Structure 1
Amino acid sequence: MKMNYFVFGTNDKEKAVIFYNELFDGCGLNKIHDQGRMTLWGNDEFMFAIAEPFDEHPASNGNGTMLGLHVDSMNEVNRLHKKALELGGVSEGEPRIRSNMHSAYMRDLDNNKVCFYTSNT
């Protein structure tokens, strides 16, 4: 079994799409669906989406919920973390070695938590 996709809820789809379009630029995740309440980026291995909740209640983030994105290098961890902050994200942990992996944490515009990490230390 492997994870196929991950979805974050959003309360401002337009701003969230801009954030993730810029963040994923050059990362190998391409926008493959942008219709109605959902926008989806993907490649051959993984898909990520933002969506306005189907039940029409406000989106909220889960306490303890986090998406981990494995990238190819320490430089890419650093670059993505810096870029996320430039796009309006908030740091939840600067890039450094944790548990034998180089990782960095951020929250997006809807306060969802994302970790960028690599085992190439």
Structure 2
Amino acid sequence: MKMNYVVLGTNDMTAASQFYDQLFAHLDLGRFAPSDRMTYWLGEDFAFAVALPFDQGAASNGNGTMIGFAVGSADEVKHMHRLAIELGGACEGAPGHRGPRYSAYVRDLDNNKLCFSD
């Protein structure tokens, strides 16, 4: 079994879409927006989306929830971490070795926690 897709809630679709457009710009991903409330970035074995909550309530980040992106190398971990912060994200852990992986942590504009690892 493998993960099918990940969706993070947002309270500002425009800001979230711009953040992830720029964060993913150097990757081979296509952007697809099937509606005003959801935007996907799709690639081979990759599907990620941001969405306005279906129930029209406020989006909130989960306590203990984190989305991990395998980015392939320590250099790419550093690049993605730096880029996310430049785009308005917040540092949750600078790039470095943690256990067997080289990783870094950030919060996106909606306070969702992301991990980039090699």
**TM-score, with normalisation over the residues of structure 1?**
0.94
Aligned length: 118
For the 8 Å contact 1:77–1:103, the answer to whether it is kept is yes
Name the aligned partner's letter for residue 90 of structure 1: A
1:34 CA displacement: 4.8
Residue 75 of structure 2 corresponds to 75
Q: What is the aligned-residue identity percentage?
A: 53
Structure 2 unaligned residues grouped into runs of 5+ = none
Paired with 2:26 and 2:32, the residues of 1 have a C-alpha distance of 15
Q: How does 1:81-100 map to 2 (within 5 A)?
A: 81-100=81-100
Paired with 1:61 and 1:76, the residues of 2 have a C-alpha distance of 25
RMSD of the TM alignment (CA)? 0.8
Residue 54 of structure 2 corresponds to 54
Paired with 1:50 and 1:73, the residues of 2 have a C-alpha distance of 25
Structure 1 unaligned residues grouped into runs of 5+ = none
**TM-score, with normalisation over the residues of structure 2?**
0.97
Residue 27 of structure 1 corresponds to 27
Paired with 2:49 and 2:113, the residues of 1 have a C-alpha distance of 14
Name the aligned partner's letter for residue 79 of structure 1: H
Task: State the 4+ residue runs in structure 1 displaced beyond 4 angstroms.
Answer: none
Paired with 1:22 and 1:36, the residues of 2 have a C-alpha distance of 19
